[in-house]
Amino acid sequence: MSSDSVALSLRGLGKSYRMTALIDQPYSFIEMLTGKIRRPFRRPDERVFWALRNISLQIKQGETVGIIGRNGAGKSTLLKILSRITDPSEGEVAVFGRVGSLLEVGTGFHPELTGRENIFLNGAILGMRRHEIARRFDAIVDFSGVEEFLELPVKKYSSGMYVRLAFAVAAHLEPEILLVDEVLAVGDAEFQQKCLGKMRDEAISGRAVLFVSHSMAAVQNLCKSCLLLEKGQLVFYGETSAAIDLYLQSSSRSAEVEAAQRQNRKGLNASQPQIAVVRLVDAKGKVQSRLSQGEAVHLEITVDAPHLGIERPIVRLSINHVIHGIVGMVDTQLTGSPLRQGRYQHFTLRCSLKPLPLLQGLYTVDVWLSDGHIQIDTLPACLSFAVEETDLYGTGRATFADKGILYLEPTWEIISEQ
Amino acid sequence: MAVRPTYLLRPRSGWQSLDLMELWRFRDLLIQLGVRDVKLRYRQTAMGVAWVLIQPIVTAMVFAFLFGRVARLSTNNIPPFWFAFTGLIAWGFFQGIVSRASASLVQSAPIISKVYFPRLVLPLATIISCLLDFAVGLVIMLIGLVGIGLIPDVRVLLLPVWLLLFLLLAAGVGMYSAAITARYRDLQYALPFVIQFFAYASPVGYATNSVPPDLRGWYALNPLVGLLEAFRWSILGTANFSWAATGYASVISVCVFVFGMYGFRRVERSLADVL
């Protein structure tokens, strides 16, 4: 197939779920009957929730396209439709070629069956013919690196072996269109690299790859173009760095709005003490969502407690790498702060962190508020920011992407030489 | 666009075509799933294949005692044990497919919500392990019959036909109830009861001529009557065979199978959302 032929063509695609179906669907036949008898003419309340709507786009063979967006933006729904697990509610998709998905590796693996038996069973579930599996059997075993355990039931495998074998089967499906959902979150670093390499090969060999991930590093690394979904809508489809920019902007913007508007979170109402705004600003006080490596981080946290006030406020925050987890945590009690005991009805606190040696990547901030020992408010991942690479060392080279969280600042000395 | 899409995904509603071509492409999956069931059943059981025999043998003894000795119902001059055993292996085949096929979707819910394949593969794959059970029972039965001097004649050649009809009827019921069970779990509990009812409402342990004549009309509505009598006629040469009853049963079996398939396909598209 030529490289510019279309692999997927989506026209006005939408998927809706009936909220009633989710909330009070009759779960037994009797309930349905009694419901019908009590209210014979009542149509179930059809509050329709659109998980995805008006998605129109084309993806060509040989393209690797990232799909990014916050939780609930519709990423997984899109993959579910493309992989034919669920029907769309409107619109249509024309699919050119066989679709393979790595939505959940190891689907259909049976613990009592041996590795060998599971390869054949899993391959068949993924749509491979027996002779296709037999032909690729050695390659699959080789890729997984579990050949000594092939005749052992997989319930005796370690979770790492299990995942590797499962991924190996899925990776040898050789579909024209490959859907990948966050599989890289599993396995050890070495195996992840192997998987990324495999996906790159797929793309090079002319397949279309759709890649859902929360790891901007991986998306940036693998995908030329990217779609950004927001609340079921396609917000942007184009160059990856532009998509990530937009995603981060919208994340940080919405963090600001959300903190102010999420007044009902965990039973809080507007009159109770709470975190109202969290912002990331630069040295000049301007709101930012991107930092350069080695730039100081300033976080502004606004707390409102209009009626009751707060006696002994403690603000705690942590900075987290989206893939590798927590970078560090501080609170005002631990380090001491200008916050004193006394009745605050409002305060805005700025926390300035000395230049952090953060690698390029995406980071999030969690904020907690407590009054003495009593925790009042929690805002997990309330804002996110990206750290961009710069020519840190003045050598014209970028730091190693996605190798850890921090960059190191070494001084090299020659102790002896010849 | 000159190239035709491999397939088009769009909203579906109402009756669907069966898409047997696609089902055929997934025949390896059907076999793999069937083989998996067989393997899993005998792995880690101490007596392995013996379990397939113990059940019908013990039940045949109970039936022979109940219907033959206690109730003294007609067994057409066949030893009650072998009379009941013949009925039971055919009945076991029917019942096995119905109950395993019905449970197949709910059991495979995790796969259904993650991978696409024609869902019909799941209930249909259960036929394989049931066929194996049946084959084992049949061999034991034939050995036993020869042992007591009851050697089947040429009519035994029609056995595959009756087997196919049993299969169609059972798979039809199984597919449809699998689809309903996915939505309403009630059927999981109702089904064993219904199956038990039919075990007594069919000539499994007794012959049709034991049924009071005024009830025969109602009794004959059950398609299993014609099939079981035909099955027994083929092996034991009993006299209750009638072309009318068997013809009726054949038509019903084929209809149930076709309807079961279409009914399944109708519900199939929403399976991932309800399971």
Q: Which of residues 105-144 of A touch B (CB under 8 A)?
A: 107-108, 110, 112-113, 117, 120-121, 124-130
List of E strands, A61-148: 64-68, 90-95, 99-102
Whether A350 and A412 have beta carbons less than 8 Å apart is answered as no
Note whether A81 contacts B185, CB cutoff 8 Å: no
Contact across the interface for B9 and A93, Cβ inside 8 Å: yes
Question: In the structure encoding, which two tokens stand for residue A342, read together?
Answer: 């006394």
Residues 25-44 of A with CB under 8 A from B: 27-30, 32
Which chain A residues have a beta carbon less than 8 Å from that of B31? 130
Facing B9 at nearest CB: one of A92, A101, A126: A92
**Chain B: residue nearest A179 by CA?**
B115
Whether the model clears a pTM of 0.90, i.e. scores above it, the answer is no
Buried b (16+ CB within 10 A) or exposed e, A348-387: ebebeeeebebbbbbbbbbbbbbbeeeebbebebbbbbbb
Contact A107 B115 (CB under 8 A): yes
Residue A259 is predicted with a pLDDT of 55
Q: Is the pLDDT of residue B29 over 90?
A: yes
Contacts of B58 (CB under 8 A, 6+ apart): none
DSSP string, chain B: --SPPSEEE----S-----HHHHHHTHHHHHHHHHHHHHHHHTT-SSTTHHHHHHHHHHHHHHIIIIIIIS----TTS-HHHHHHHHHHHHHHHHHHHHHHHHHHHHTHHHHTT--S-TTHHHHHHHHHHHHHHHHHHHHHHHHHHHTT----GGGGGHHHHHHHHHHHHHHHHHHHHHHHHH-THHHHHHHHHHHHHHHSSTTSS-GGGS-GGGHHHHTTSHHHHHHHHHHHHHH--S---HHHHHHHHHHHHHHHHHHHHHHHHHHTTHHHH-
pLDDT of residue A264: 38
Domain boundaries, chain B: 22-274
Q: Which of A83, A91, A121 lies closest to B32 in CB terms?
A: A121
In this structure, of A187-201, B100-114, B133-147, B198-212, the range with the lowest mean pLDDT score is A187-201
Put simply, the answer to whether B6 touches A129 (Cβ < 8 Å) is no
Write the DSSP symbol of residue A394: S
Phi, psi for residue A331 in degrees, rounded to 5:
-140, 165
pLDDT of residue B170 exceeding 90, the answer is yes
Cα–Cα distance measured from residue A392 to residue A395, given in angstroms and rounded to the nearest whole number: 8
Tell me which amino acid residue B159 is. L
Residues of B in contact with A108 (CB under 8 A): 110-111, 115
B231 pLDDT higher than 90: yes
- Give the three-class secondary structure for A7: strand
In whole angstroms, give the CA distance from residue B225 to residue B216: 10
CA distance B239 to B155: 12
Return the higher-pLDDT residue of B159 and A259: B159
Whether the predicted pLDDT of B7 surpasses 50: yes
Task: Answer yes or no: do B40 and A110 touch at CB < 8 A.
Answer: yes
Q: Is the pLDDT of residue B68 over 70?
A: yes
Q: What angle do CA A201, A202, A206 make, to 5 degrees?
A: 110
Mind telling me how many Å the CA of A226 is from chain B's nearest CA?
22
Chain B residue nearest residue A5, CA to CA:
B3
Work out whether the CA dihedral B142, B148, B149, B152 comes out positive or negative. negative
Task: Sheet with A313-321: list strands edge to edge.
Answer: A290-292, A374-388, A361-371, A313-321, A325-331
Q: For residues A181 and A105, give the distance between their C-alpha atoms in angstroms, rounded to a whole number.
A: 10
Output B245 or B185, whichever has higher pLDDT. B245
Helix (H, G, I), strand (E, B) or coil at A230: strand
CB atoms under 10 Å from CB of B266, counted, come to 16
Residue with tokens 């398609």: B223
Quote the minimal CA–CA distance from A126 to chain B in Å.
Answer: 7
What pLDDT sits at residue A402? 65
Q: How many CB pairs (< 8 A) connect A and B? A: 109
Q: pLDDT at position A147, please?
A: 87
Name the phi and psi angles at B15, rounded to 5: -75, 140
- Residue A98, CB half-sphere, CA atoms under 13 Å: how many? 11
Q: Is A21 helix (H, G, I), strand (E, B) or coil?
A: helix
Least confident segment among A16-25, A48-57, B169-178, B249-258: A16-25
Strand partners, A375: A370
Q: Which residues of B touch A107 (CB under 8 A)?
A: 110-111, 114-115
Mean pLDDT to the nearest integer, B138-162: 89
More confident of the two residues B55 and A313: A313
pLDDT over threshold 50, residue B1: no
- Cβ <8 Å between B11 and A82: no
State the angle between helix axes of B159-183 and B243-268 in degrees (0 to 180), rounded to the nearest 10: 30
Q: Quote the tokens at residue A138.
A: 């050695």
**The two structure tokens encoding residue B177:** 């109830």
Both ends of chain B: CA-CA distance in Å? 37
pLDDT of residue A135: 93
Instruction: Kindly state the average pLDDT of the residues B177-183.
Output: 89
Query: How far is residue A323 from each of residues A213, A217, A247, B157, measured CA to CA in Å?
Result: 10, 9, 17, 67
Helix B186-200 and helix B159-183, axial crossing angle in degrees, nearest 10: 150
A236, A243 contact by CB (below 8 A):
yes
Which residues of chain A lie closer than 8 angstroms to B40, CB-CB?
Answer: 110, 112-113
Distance (Å, whole) CA A177 – CA A99:
5
Spatial distance between the Cα atoms of B180 and B102, rounded to a whole number of angstroms: 9
Cβ–Cβ below 8 Å for A127 and B7: no
Q: What is the mean pLDDT of chain B?
A: 88
Using left for φ > 0, alpha for ψ between -120 and 50, and beta otherwise, residue A192 falls in alpha
Q: Taking CB atoms and an 8 Å cutoff, what residues of chain A touch B1?
A: 6, 9, 94
pLDDT at residue number B33? 92
Q: HSE (CB half, 13 Å, CA atoms) of A199?
A: 30
**What pLDDT shows up at residue A36?**
59
CA B185 to chain centre: 21
Among the listed ranges A263-277, A365-379, B185-199, B212-226, which one has the minimum average pLDDT value? A263-277
Spatial CB neighbours of A276, under 8 Å, sequence gap ≥ 6 = A259, A260, A302, A303, A304
Chain B residues close to A92, C-beta within 8 Å:
8-10
Q: Does A60 touch chain B (CB under 8 A)?
A: no
The predicted pLDDT at position A30 comes to 65
Whether the CB-CB separation of A277 and A260 falls below 8 Å is answered with yes
Minimum-distance CB partner of A112 among B28, B43, B115? B43
Task: Say what the pLDDT of residue A40 is.
Answer: 56
Say yes or no to pLDDT of B95 above 90. Answer: yes
Judge whether residue B197 has pLDDT over 90: yes
Q: 10-residue block means of pLDDT along chain A (418 residues)?
A: 75 81 52 62 65 91 87 83 90 90 72 89 88 92 88 85 83 83 58 72 80 76 88 90 80 52 47 82 81 87 85 90 80 89 88 88 84 81 78 79 82 92
Q: Please tell me the predicted confidence (pLDDT) of residue B205.
A: 85
Which residues of chain A make contact with B5, given a CB cutoff of 8 A?
9, 94-96
The residue ranking higher by pLDDT, A181 or B200, is B200
Q: How confident is the model at residue A37, as a pLDDT?
A: 64
